[in-house]
Amino acid sequence: MKILSVNAGSSSLKFQLYEMPEEKVLISGVFERIGIENSFYTVKINGEKVEKKVELPNHKVAFQILIDELKENNVVEDLSEIKGIGHRVVQGGAYFDKTEVVTEDVISKIDELSSLAPLHNPAAITGIRAAQEVVPNAIQTVVFDTAFHQTMEEETYLYAVPYEWYTKYKVRRYGAHGTSHKYVALRANELLGKEDTKLITCHIGNGASISAIKNGKCINTSMGLTPNAGLIMGTRCGDIDATIIPYIMEKTGMTPKEIDNALNKQSGLLGISGVSSDARDIEAGIKDNNKRCILARNMYVKRVVEYIAKYYVELGGCDAIIFTAGVGENSISIREKIIEGLLPLGVELDKEANNVRGKEALITSKDSSIPVFIIPTDEEVMIARDTYFFCK
């Protein structure tokens, strides 16, 4: 049975077509820098990887190219062979704590929650609508990033704001990237050979979050009501003093929508560097001794170190730290800087082992107090597993 996993990020779209239940990947690919200049995508089939440069103004264009690639590579003779399509959705709010089959009511609720994930939920809906149009007979499912974080305790997910904001408006911490955190935690347990673990999982890319996981359950996570909390990200500011918002509104006359746009799309690495939201561009700027790129990188690293240290204390120790996602898997220099910041915890980098991109690896020395792993995330296989359940 063929199952297609679609993972729409804020500036990317990953896809993998599986033969299930074998979990055999027939074709995979990723569209990168969507909505950013110099966009491109790569397709991998039969062990060969091809990169193509193309303008990707939005996720709808990316999805249509995805379908074209399936046909052109003869992975399917007819799109009716695809029995299920699973979509990653960042924000399920209080409505969803598990994977659901797509209905108009489900789409309506995802759309309603777009204000909590403005870079992601609309992109997911675009993907869902495109999939429904192109592959109308496939079962469509939505896998929510927020579901994994539903195990947090009330004192963790509530904010110290008027309690009625929670009861009336559902203001609370929801988290995101749950599918990724769950996958790498499961894999880390396999590597450690046990399940009663204390893990700190670092999903750091254009969007970024860190989770504290105890015995397979999330006890805390850095993202909050929306994905714009916690770490500094590509275009998101992460944690800030809340009073900055009314202060800037009074000074500039900006509307709430304009403020929201600035904090979600003009801040983070882009806002500090003035160059780009992409960590690769920041690293290129650092090589040219661009002081604002250096500043952006240092701020990014500092925030990651702060959260790891916080969760180390909250967990009462740590069995492993895991790096995953675009930056975590591929940025040798940023991983090195983060581990340097963890030296007070006794974490020691093995520079030779760290000289790797996109591969699973142990990157700390034998004397390190905590092992640090790179574990490439595989949200797509988690999505495929859940979708296959509904298609059997």
Question: Using CA atoms, how far apart are residues 320 and 329, in angstroms rounded to an integer?
Answer: 16
Closest by CA to 301, choosing from 289, 316, 283, is 283
Strand partners, 89: 144
Coil, helix or strand for 332? helix
**DSSP state, residue 276:** -
Catalytic residue status for 239 = no
Locate 347 and state its tokens.
Answer: 């974490």
Contact yes or no for 354/364 (Cβ under 8 A): no
- 299 touches 338 (CB < 8 A): no
3 state DSSP class of 42: strand
Angle at 384 between CA 382 and CA 389, to 5 degrees: 105
Burial 261-288 (b: 16+ CB within 10 A, else e): ebbbbebbbbbbbebbbbbebbbebbee
Q: Residues 145, 281, 319, 386: which is the catalytic one?
A: 145
Q: Write down the residue that tokens 């969507």 correspond to.
A: 34
Active site residues: 145
